């Protein structure tokens, strides 16, 4: 099954819309609650990343009985050093974003902890693509 969502950069009140929708879908599909939690946490973090850093983004979700694949494609500043961004606590978030309780540098590391596969590709000045997968059968 395929689903798509749009993300609006800078609008924190809408961050989490896609993860809430996906959560509903996975509950209806009788996916193990523990797996749902991992998926939702990972997608929520990724959504917040796009909202906090990029101008606009799209989410593509594919679900089959073996795995859940999520791709987030954004138009934004890109990540100059992905290795650094993957480190816990590293953050380039602005003070305004931090004031809202985001930007603690937990985003990408948290996504990594909750997914089975994670690929981040980025071009500075153009945007970032985050691909993640969670397997349903261990």
Partner 1 sequence: MGNTNFHHALKIREDLCIGCSHCMNVCPTEAIRVKNGKSVLFGDRCVDCGECFRVCPVSAIIIDHDDFNNIFDYKYRVALVPAVFTGQFPVDISLRQIFSVLIDIGFTHVYEVENGVEILLEAINETSTPQPEKKPLISSFCPAIVRLIQVKFPALVDNILLLKPPLDISALHIRKEMEEKGIPAEETGIFYVTPCAAKIAAIKDPVGEAASAITGVINMDILFNRVYRQVKQKNNHTCALPSGSKLSNVAMCWSLTNGEAPHVKGRSLAIDEIKNVIEFLERLENDEFSDIDFLELRACDESCAGGVLTISNRFLAAERLRNHVENFQPNPELQYPDSLRSIYQNSEYLQENISIEKVYPRSILKLDDNMAEAMKKMERVNRIMQLLPMVDCGICGAPSCQALAQDIVQGLGNIKHCIFIQKILEQKGELNLEDSVKIMQDIWGYGKTNKYRDLKGI
Residues 36-55 that bind partner 1 (CB under 8 A): 36-37, 40-41, 44
- The 8 Å CB, 24+ separation contacts for 81-87 are 82/120, 82/122, 85/120, 86/112, 86/120
Minimum distance of partner 1 from residue 133's CB (angstroms): 16
Rounded Cα–Cα distance for residues 67 and 84 (Å): 28
Say how many residues touch partner 1, by CB under 8 A.
Answer: 23
Of these, 9, 10, 16, 77, which contacts partner 1 (CB under 8 A)? 16
> 3-state class of 1 per DSSP?
coil
59 membership: H or E segment, kind and range: strand 56-63
Q: How far is the CB of 129 from partner 1 (least distance, A)?
A: 23
| Residues near partner 1, by CB under 8 A | 1, 16, 19-20, 23-25, 27-31, 33-34, 36-37, 40-41, 44, 63-65, 136
């Amino acid at each position: 099954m395929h689903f798509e969502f749009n993300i609006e950069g800078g609008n924190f009140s809408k961050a989490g819309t896609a993860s809430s929708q996906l959560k509903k879908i996975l509950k209806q599909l009788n996916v193990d609650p523990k797996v749902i939690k991992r998926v939702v946490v990972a997608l929520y973090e990724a959504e917040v990343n796009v909202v906090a850093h990029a101008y606009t983004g799209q989410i593509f979700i594919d679900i089959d009985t073996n795995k859940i694949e999520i791709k987030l494609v954004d138009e934004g500043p890109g990540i100059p050093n992905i290795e650094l961004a993957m480190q816990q606590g590293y953050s380039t978030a602005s003070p305004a974003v931090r004031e809202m309780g985001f930007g603690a540098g937990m985003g990408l590391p948290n996504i990594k902890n909750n997914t089975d596969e994670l690929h981040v590709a980025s071009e500075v000045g153009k945007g970032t693509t985050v691909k993640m997968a969670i397997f349903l059968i261990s």
